[in-house]
Amino acid sequence: MTRLPIPDTITFLKSPARDAAADGAPVERLVAEIIAAVRSRGDEAVREFSTRFDGSCPETLEVSMAEREAALDRLDPQTRADTEFAIENVRVFAQAQLGTLSELEIEIRPGVHLGHRNIPLERVGCYVPGGRYPLLSAPIMSIVPAKVAGVGEVIACLPPNAHEAMVAGCHLSGADRIFRIGGAQAIGAMALGTGTMPAVDKIVGPGNAFVNEAKRQVFGPVGIDQLAGPSEIFVLADSSGDAEMIATDLLAQAEHDTRTRVGLITTDEALARAVLEQIDLQLHTLSTAATAREAWASYGEIALCPDEATMIAYSDIVAAEHLQVHTVDPKAMAARLSHYGSLFIGQNASVVYSDKCCGTNHTLPTMGAGRYTGGLWVGTYIKTVTHQWMDAEGVHQVAPPATRQSASEGLEGHRRAAQLRLDRLQA
């Protein structure tokens, strides 16, 4: 499950039956075929694969403004109000984050001026998964921060059989163009461009194994946000933990997908056993139990640690996508944690609130990637680029060491370029 050593003092009351990292479907060859076809045949290939994999292909790939407005008109009023509530929260938080991104110019030595600018991307593609349920929060999380960042054009792609409410969600979130294209063919279309779809500069948003593999294959000429695996939730808890609440939160995430990874890391054996009992009890009444039960059986775990230090160490090894802290002093515990996608401090902060509407982004690193990166945010849509300029004094400062370094490396062209300006100034 992890490439890092697990402390031998941990006891697993339940271990995962399978390794989520090793269970990916063998999709690489098929995705390569799809991308090659989209590259050579554009819209024709997109239509072919939409029909093959989604069972349908709309006559017109792009959703017209009339269709967008009709979908919005048919949206249930309470659903629209809740969607707009989530949009506003995500927007306000993204605007606050944007405010922390300062531009810079500094004279580090006399005459040597360095700086950076924050430039929004010109065009991004937001993949909006269809899934078994209409995930109305999905377009909000990718489209709204892009608009706040100042992206010139935001394109949304969603499967042709996605619920009409998802079109309305893309529209409300601010998508400039919406296309009914799903799967690897959507990623290929956004990366390469087709007769209908313009090529984008970066692709963001979660998806299934085919979408993830397609993002991996197109990366380079086009940027991607991250390679995301199945969803994850872990809870850190001591004796103050509430077994019913913890089990409820674990199963809430487990119902996403049969490959969801869920776990409890605790110092209290009584709590661990109570959570085991609660999960079994709640699965009897959960309407999505078929999915949640398989996820729990395959990837669920309960780790019993001898002390807080071991609990923290193992949590940082796991680097869970969602990490809830249910301890006596959750803020103090949170300050000691380093590796996670998003942190939920205290029992009131449920993952479901972030998943849906509280304002933080739910597109987060999985499979241990929380050890080196964070999740989707307004900065994902901005490139920070450096610049420099020098006056005569600056050339006098940097030319001599640059000339000497170039000569020692045997790079005569570099030495000449460094020396030329100094010679002219001295002349």
188 has a pLDDT exceeding 80: yes
pLDDT averaged over every residue in the chain: 95
Asked if 79 and 136 touch (Cβ cutoff 8 Å), the reply is yes
pLDDT for 98 beyond 60: yes
Domain 11-25+229-374 indexed as CATH 2.30.110.10: no
Amino acid identity, position 242 = D
What separation in angstroms does the CA of 328 have from each of 75, 199, 241, 310? 43, 51, 8, 17
Per residue in 344-379, pLDDT (tens digit) is 999 999 999 999 999 999 999 999 999 999 999 999
Is residue 56 helix, strand or coil?
coil
pLDDT in tens, 415-424: 999 999 999 9
| Domain extent listing, the chain | 11-25+229-374, 42-103+121-225, 391-426
pLDDT at 238: 97
Residue 131: closest CA among 54, 75, 56, 69:
54
Q: Stretch 211-227: mean pLDDT, rounded?
A: 95
Q: How far apart are CA 306 and CA 316, in angstroms?
A: 16
Whole-model pTM?
0.92
Question: Which residues contact residue 52 at a Cβ distance below 8 angstroms, ignoring those fewer than 6 apart?
Answer: none
Residue 23 pLDDT exceeds 90: no
Q: What DSSP designation does 53 have?
A: I
Residue 271 in contact with residue 250, Cβ under 8 Å? no
| CATH of the structural domain 42-103+121-225, one choice from 3.40.50.1980, 2.60.40.650, 1.10.10.10, 3.40.50.300 | 3.40.50.1980
The pLDDT > 90 percentage for the chain reads 90
Question: Any idea what DSSP says for residue 193?
Answer: -
Mean pLDDT of 199-207: 96
385 pLDDT band, cuts 50/70/90, is very high
Residue 131 is predicted with a pLDDT of 65
Whether 18 and 299 have beta carbons less than 8 Å apart is answered as: yes
Length of the chain, in residues: 427
Q: Name the residues annotated as catalytic.
A: 321-322
The percent of the chain in helix, strand and coil, each rounded to the nearest 5, is 50, 15, 35
State the pLDDT at residue 61: 96
- The whole-number average pLDDT for the span 87-113 is 97
pLDDT at residue 170 is higher than 70? yes
Is the CA virtual torsion 371, 374, 379, 380 positive or negative? positive
Residue 348 corresponds to which amino acid? N
CA 366 to each of CA 4, 261, 312, 353: distance values in angstroms, whole numbers, following the listed order: 15, 10, 18, 19
Cα distances from 363 to residues 148, 260, 360, 424, in angstroms, run 17, 15, 9, 54
